Structures are given as structure tokens and as C-alpha cells.
Chains A and B, each alone.
Chain A
Amino acid sequence: MPVESLFPRLEPLLPHVQKPIQYVGGELNSTVKDWDEASVRWVLMYPDAYEVGLPNQGVQILYEILNELPGTLAERTYAVWPDLEALMREHGVPQFTVDAHRPVRAFDVLGVSFATELGYTNLLTALDLAGIPLDSADRGEDDPFVIAGGHAMFNPEPIADFIDAAVLGDGEQIAIAITEVIREWKQEGRPGGRDELLLRLAESGGVYVPRFYDVEYHPDGRIKRVAPNRPRVPWRVHKHTVMNLDEWPYPKKPLVPLAETVHERYSVEIFRGCTRGCRFCQAGMITRPVRERSIDTIGRMVEIGLKESGFNEVGLLSLSSADHSEIADIAKGLADRYEGTNTSLSLPSTRVDAFNITLANEFSRNGRRSGLTFAPEGGSERMRKVINKMVTEEDLIRTVTTAYSQGWRQVKLYFMCGLPTETDEDVLCIADLAKKVIKAGREATGSRDIRCTVSIGAFVPKPHTPFQWAAQCDHETVDRRLRMLRDALRSDKEYGRAIGYRYHDGKPSIIEGLLSRGDRRVGKVIRAVWEAGGRFDGWSEHFSFDRWAECAAKALADEPVDLDWYTTRERDQHEVLPWDHLDAGLDREWLWRDWQDALSGGEVEDCRWTPCYDCGVCPTMGTEIQIGPSGRKLLPLIVK
């Protein structure tokens, strides 16, 4: 049965909403496949506004891979803004895909990618608009399987009630595997209904199905144990790691939107994983080991990606792009190739060293010289030892001064506030550092026309990091320190005007903390917030701390736990953490030791350049570090 397009019903609503173009689809390189020719149909969702969701790499990659798969189709849906949500409810228009405007509920799988926890309420809106029951337990034969992925799913417990399954790690191979399991089950006539399909997925060990795990609690609220409730369901679920990025050169045909989005460029991941060992960084911990894409694959992907899209900017993505073993050749090769074409290159890197400036110089050859960004993260040397961000004050000042003398006028410095063991003094050190930077910069350039911006946000302890046991700093303390720092910067007559200050206040981070380290009981809070109108929690104009705090108090009233218990409480070594049964490969003992080392100021090196220090990932996951140099060169253009 063909599924009808909802567009004729949506169209009359569009003149009444902001930026209607975001709902019409038709992006360059988007795909609409025949409904009846596909036996497995995915709808992929990024649970934020189109302008944020469209450029998302994860969604674009899976969209392309699934659409290439015979008998399979994939479309996309995004969170609709409240103005359209209200009209859709009034006129009975359900959640739709932007590709063919098909109703989300008609698909087999709703795959949702959570880069952050702040998209949880938007998932509920989408489910509700789609006509899919919010609770996994209430879903029937005609409802799609709701499968979540993305970094936040290394602890999916807060949304365990709302999803049918979660997947950890790289999505490419597991998405295909899930597709085939569903295809087989459908071809067999859906034996055993939803439970049977979920069981088949769970038994593989690579898909987490929350309903097959029971959580028991101690009377004081701590978790006693998490145990499978079916015989063949494994005790732990492992993450997925794609081991040869050259075999997965996606996106090949990047989506080019008409609407304006947050990134207007062709992005290519130059490697995955990071072993620098920054203790606050969840991404670095859960994506190990480092796997580089080779220089020639990168060169080819950029060439094809630009040709297919017409973009005039290339982004070389990774967690620390300057660390690619052949980044200098890549930078020079691309800068040479696109010289004089008004194509700009960008490289998100926050490394604090001179090499970073060399690269930045190369990259700005063909385009704008916007500011340079460095991320010391901690204001004092002591603080930086705690977080394992190994850079001395001397290095930092020397690096920034070099940037100024090479013509960069604006330097941005990123910091965090509320780190474990932090004191007021540590935060005030940021002001000293900024002043020294400007002073040295003025001396080096002989000019007063240099600026530095201090950008600071509150630290949130994350699962699967050495700080997973740490107490999160309360928002009163964070905000007090942020004000203190502001005053210290502003009050300075000599340097104050040359220093910009940007900060994020502490309250949203507490909610992020609740959602990051929460357990299944937090689901009630999320639902209450959503029912009270919570939407788009990643947007300051929509986020309401008070709503979250009130709903948490109400929803957890009968539990021995509360908002503080989840956030500002330190955990001890043996407490069962809500995500302990989810295996990122990291050895729990190693994480604990690293946490203790943090408290005593012990540092770890990067295992790319020093011997393996047994974090546990490689043996557990059967993976290994994949880095160059390959010695190859960026290939010349294929045509032209």
C-alpha cells in the first residue's frame, strides 16, 4: 500500500510559520525511493531544529548508507518549532519526513541520533505528533521500532522507557545489521511480534534493549544491580567500532539545504577517536582507539564532496584535527589545490601549540583570517594537571604570542568552570592568564590592536570518564565564580578592554548533569517536563531551569533520590552506575585509577606516541590504533 504524502495538508499551514523552507525538503542530493520497493524503511531523526539537524554528519552518513542498501529506504525528520507544532495539532497533521512527507508512524524504524541529552523532550514531541505511544511498552504491531544512537546513548537509561533499543558507537555497520534482522523477521511474517524482533537484536550483544534488563535499587536509592531478564540476553552490551574508515567514505553526496543551517560546508571526518586522555572529555573516552582516514581518501572525498554540493568551505572534522599524522600534508595539499578558487578550509582544533598556528596559517591562505581558538580548559597549572590537559602557562603564552605576531588579531581561549577540586583561585588564574597573553602580545607586535576572548562554560561530569564518580559543582558556586572572573577581567584598566568575556551560566549544566548521569527514574522527570511544555532544551530562549527543577521535585517525590543526588553527589568506587552494563571498552579499574590520579595530579600520556597504558578498549573491542603516516600524497584531482 503506497503511503500518501502529507504535503497537501501541511502546505496550507506553512504560510503561518517561521522559516517554512525548513519543512519542505527537496535538498540537493536528497533521495526519495519508491515505498513499495523497500522492505525495510527507516526514518532518521535529529531531535533538534532543522538548521542544527540537517548538517549532522551521523544522520547524513546513515541516510546515504541505508539508501544505498537494496530493498531499504531512509528518510529524515527533525524537530518542528512550537509554532508549527501548534498548527499540526490543530489540523491533525502528524510528524512527517521532509523527503517525501510521509507519516513517521508508517516506517519500520525511527532512528534517533542524540549528540546531546538536551534533545530528549524533542523526541517526546515527535513521538506524540507521530501518533506513536511514548512508552515502549504501549507500542503495537503498527508502530515503528524506536532505536536511539549517538554519544548520549552511552547512558540511555533516562530515556529507557521511551526507546525500544539503543546502539553504542559507530552506526554504519550496526545500522545495516539491524536492517537485515528486521527484513528477515518481516519476511518470516513477524513471528512473536515486537518482543521477538527486539530479542533477536538483544541477543546479538550489540543492541541494548532496556526492557530486557531489570534494575533493582537499594533502599537509599543507589542501584543494587542491573540484570537481564531473559535467558539469552547478555549481561553487557558492547559498543561498535568501524575499523577502516577508508572503506566508509561517507558522506559522498552531502545534503545541500535551501534553508540556512549552522554549518554551510562539506565536512569530512579525518579520524575518529582521541587518546589524549583529557579526563573531562566523554567523546575522547568512548570513541577510542584513534582510527585515521588516509590522506588520499580525504583528498578524494573533498574533491567529490565539493563537486556534488557546490559548497565553498571544507571542514576537516575530528576531536582534535591537528593530531592527524599527515595533517601538514593534507593542509598544504588542499590549500594548493583550491588556491584562487575562493574555497575556504577550516579545521576545528584547539591544540595549544605552535604547530596549530602553522596549520591555521596554511588554512587561511585561501580565505578569511577569522580568530584562532585554543582550549587550555583549566585556568591554573594545577587544574590542568587534574584534567590531564598538559600545557604549561609558558607554552600557552608563547603560542598565543606567536599567533599575534603572525597576524592573527583575535584569539579565543576556552575554559571550564566547576571542575573537580577547583577553587576560586583556579578560576581567577584565568584572568591573570588573559592579561599576560595580551601583555605579551602587545610587546611582540608593538600594537594595541589585538584581542582575546575568554569563553567559559560549566563542567558536566559524564559517564564512561574518570570523572563519572565526581560531584558536579552546584550552579550557585559556578555562577559566583563566573561573576568573580568577569569582575576581575573588567576591572583591569590596562588590559580589560582588550579582553572579551563569554560565559554560559551554571543552571542548564545541572540539568545536563541530571540527564547525563541519570537512571531510569529520571524518565519520569523528562516526561513531566515535556507535559509542562518543555521543548528545545538546548536553546536558552526555550530552556527553563525552574520547570526542570519543579518537575524533578514532583516526579521524584516518592523516591529516595532528587536532583542534587544525581548531580552534586560524589559516587564511591563500588556504587553500581546506571551505565555499568554498557561496555565502551574502558576498564572500570583503569577509569577509577585515573580518577585517583586526577586527584593527586598524576598525568597520562597519549598512547599514540607512548606505550599502551591499558585503558582496556583495544583488547575488549578487538580494535587497534590506526594511524599513519602512510607516506602517500594528496592525489591530484581526478578530472580537470
Chain B
Amino acid sequence: MVQRLRVRYAKRGRLRFASHRDISRAVERAVRRAGIPVAYSAGFTPHPKISYAGAAPTGVASEAEYLEIGVTRRCDPKRVRDDLDASLPTGLDVLDVVEARVGNLADRLEASEWEVRLPGADPAAAREAAERFLAADRVEVERLTKKGPRRFDARGAVQTLTVAEGTGEIAGQEVARPCAILRMVVRHLVPAVRPDDVLTGLRLVAGFAPPSPPEVTRLAQGPLDAVTGGPADPLDPDRDHRGGEPGTAGQRVGGDL
């Protein structure tokens, strides 16, 4: 392995229903189709050297997923970006590729910014629930994990939580219904607090229950930026900075959408 490439990709639209395993199979095939000289582990059943950091759960869309590919020949990151993107199914879209220079990528993913669209939910009620949630010190929620039900605090990890109003037409219906849009920055703690845990919290503190399934999108993940209060671009430390000022992840997302 002569080089490691760090890739930011999006999981959009209907492909948000792909599980992590589905995505890793798709990426392995795309890497082969694109002719990227991926390195393989030694041994009887060699595996391509592709590692994933902090994958979003099945059903959740994301604008900021990360993986790292080890290659046996030096590659131009821009080319890899184009070739890999062309080889992946639409909806798995490569946004950025840099050469790994320093450190461990996974360590930089300290927090995520999430958008949660709640079609048909009353924004005022959502706002009130968010205020109560933020006012609490702890909000114990329960989630069913593979090892059975687990209780933990959903409040401590939440850095910011705001509510906006949108018009979301609910699937298939012509009339636009009100739509509450939550935005939150959540730190990656153990156990992980996910947007649906925060929604559970809103139900517990204020009886807030959206009428249809939430549409969740991860907008960014990265190191917590003290100035913005949100995650910064985790690939910045790998970038050649002579080209200009590094942007924050939030700005980049705006450009990509």
C-alpha cells in the first residue's frame, strides 16, 4: 500500500435504504469497475483495504459519509473522485477525495449535524418540545439494541437543536402540509445518540409525536468547531492549504445541495 485516499460521499434519496453492508459491497464493486488499484489484505481470503468511519444507519440519508481506500499505485485524488462516482449507482455520490496525510480520520469525527424533516408535524409544537428538551439536564430514553433494551441519556450529547418551518408535501398527497424541520448538532458519544433518540426524548418531555416517519439526513460530521458550534470539515488537515482558506463543512454542504 503506497497511498491512502479519504473519500467523502453522500447517500441520497432512495439509496438511503441501503444498509452499511449493502454500501460496502457496492463500493468494492465500484472500485473494481473504476479500475482503482485497491490494496488487498494478505491471507487466504483477501479483502480490499477499504475502511469506513461512522456510517449512517439504514434509512438515514447523508451528505457526509467517509471511507478510506488503500491503493498499491499512487492515484490522483481528483481522478479517483470522478471515476468512483461514475462507477457507483446514482444516489451514492462521491463528493470529495483527498490523500491521507496525517492522523486517523475516525478520530476527527466528533460530532454530526443532522436535519430531521417531520412531514405533517406542527412546527410550533416541535419548537416547544425542543425548548423543554434543551432545558432538561438529562433525558433518559430507551432503545432496542441487538443486546436487548438499553437506557441512556439523549440530552447530554446534543449541542444545538433548532426548529424551522418548511412545506413538505407528504408523500403522494397534493396538498402541502406543514412540516417541522429540526436541525441538531450531536456529539458522538458512547452509546451513540441518534436523531431518533432525540425524537424519543421530545416525546418524553413534551408528548411530541410526529404523524409520519421522520426523514433524516446527516448534513456534516467532523471535529466540533468552537466558533460555529458545528462540525468542521474533517478532511481539512489532509488538504494542501496553500490553495486558500479551508471551508467549513456547513458551507460545503450548502454548495453541494
Using a CB–CB cutoff of 8 Å, the interface residues on chain A facing chain B are 7-9, 11-12, 14-16, 19-21, 23-28, 256, 258-260, 264, 307-312, 342, 368
Contacts and interface: CB of A to CB of B under 8 A. Distances in A.
14 contacts: A12-B171, A15-B59, A15-B213, A20-B58, A21-B58, A28-B29, A258-B25, A259-B18, A260-B22, A309-B33, A310-B32, A311-B29, A312-B32, A368-B44
Nearest to A308: B33
A14 B172 CA distance: 14
Contact of A14 (B17, B44, B89): B17
Nearest to A26: B89
A428 B91 CA distance: 56
A177 B77 CA distance: 50
Interface in B5-57: 14-15, 17-19, 21-23, 25-26, 28-33, 40, 44-46, 48
B160 interface: no
Contacts of A24: 14-15, 17
Nearest to A30: B89
Contacts of A7: 14
A527 B59 CA distance: 36
Contacts of B17: 14, 20-21, 23-24
B171 A11 contact: yes
Contacts of A21: 15, 17-19, 22, 58
Contacts of B29: 28, 256, 309-312
B112 interface: no
A114 B133 CA distance: 55
B62 interface: no
Given A309-B33, A342-B46, A259 B22 contact: yes
B33 A258 contact: no
Contacts of A8: 171-172
Given A14-B17, A342-B46, 19 more contacts: A7-B14, A8-B171, A12-B212, A12-B213, A20-B17, A20-B58, A21-B17, A21-B19, A23-B17, A24-B14, A24-B17, A28-B29, A258-B89, A264-B25, A309-B29, A310-B87, A312-B32, A368-B44, A368-B45
Nearest to A312: B32
Contacts of A311: 29, 32
A453 B77 CA distance: 49
Given A24-B17, A310-B30, A9 B89 contact: no
B90 interface: yes
A16 B28 CA distance: 28
Given A7-B14, A26-B89, A311-B29, A14 B22 contact: no
Contacts of B44: 368
Interface of B: 14-15, 17-19, 21-23, 25-26, 28-33, 40, 44-46, 48, 58-59, 87, 89-91, 170-172, 212-213
A24 B33 CA distance: 22
Nearest to B212: A12
Contact of B26 (A12, A258, A368): A258
Given A12-B171, A309-B33, A258 B18 contact: yes
B15 A26 contact: yes
B49 to A, nearest CB: 12
A367 to B, nearest CB: 8
Contacts of B40: 342
A318 to B, nearest CB: 25
Given A21-B22, A24-B17, A368-B44, A310 B91 contact: no
Q: Report, nearest first, the 3 A-B pairs whose CB atoms are least far apart.
A: A310-B29, A310-B33, A24-B14
B25 A260 contact: yes
B213 to A, nearest CB: 5
A629 to B, nearest CB: 32
Listed residue (A26, A256, A311) with the most chain B CB atoms within 10 angstroms of its CB: A26
A624 B25 CA distance: 43
B23 to A, nearest CB: 8
A7 B14 CA distance: 9
Listed residue (A24, A26, A258, A309) with the most chain B CB atoms within 10 angstroms of its CB: A258
Nearest to A309: B29
Contacts of B19: 19, 21
A25 B14 CA distance: 9
Contacts of A310: 28-33, 87
A258 B22 contact: yes
Given A21-B17, A258-B18, A26 B59 contact: no
Contacts of B48: 342
Given A12-B213, A26-B89, A26-B90, A258 B15 contact: yes
B46 A11 contact: no
B10 to A, nearest CB: 14
A14 B18 CA distance: 11
Contacts of A25: 14
Contacts of B31: 310
A194 to B, nearest CB: 31
B241 to A, nearest CB: 35
Nearest to A14: B17
Nearest to B32: A310
A9 B212 CA distance: 12
Contact of A26 (B33, B91, B172, B212): B91
B77 to A, nearest CB: 21
A310 B46 CA distance: 16
Contacts of B87: 310
A439 B13 CA distance: 59
A16 B212 CA distance: 11
Contacts of B91: 26
B220 to A, nearest CB: 23
A27 B18 CA distance: 12
B91 to A, nearest CB: 6
Contacts of A19: 19
Listed residue (A12, A15, A25, A256) with the most chain B CB atoms within 10 angstroms of its CB: A15
A24 B17 CA distance: 8
A28 B89 contact: yes
A259 B15 CA distance: 10
A28 B26 CA distance: 9
Listed residue (B18, B45, B48) with the most chain A CB atoms within 10 angstroms of its CB: B18
A368 B18 CA distance: 28
A9 B59 contact: no
Listed residue (A16, A28, A264, A307) with the most chain B CB atoms within 10 angstroms of its CB: A28
Contacts of A309: 29, 33
B46 A260 contact: no
B36 to A, nearest CB: 11
Nearest to B38: A342
Nearest to A16: B213
A342 to B, nearest CB: 6
A310 B31 CA distance: 8
Nearest to A10: B171
B156 to A, nearest CB: 27
Contacts of B25: 258, 260, 264
A307 B30 CA distance: 10
A307 B34 CA distance: 9
A18 to B, nearest CB: 10
B217 to A, nearest CB: 14
A307 B33 CA distance: 6
A15 B16 CA distance: 10
Nearest to A307: B33
B168 to A, nearest CB: 12
A310 B48 CA distance: 13
Contacts of A342: 40, 46, 48
A108 to B, nearest CB: 25
A310 B30 CA distance: 6
Contacts of B46: 342
A26 B14 contact: yes
Listed residue (A9, A21, A24, A264) with the most chain B CB atoms within 10 angstroms of its CB: A21
Contacts of B213: 12, 15-16
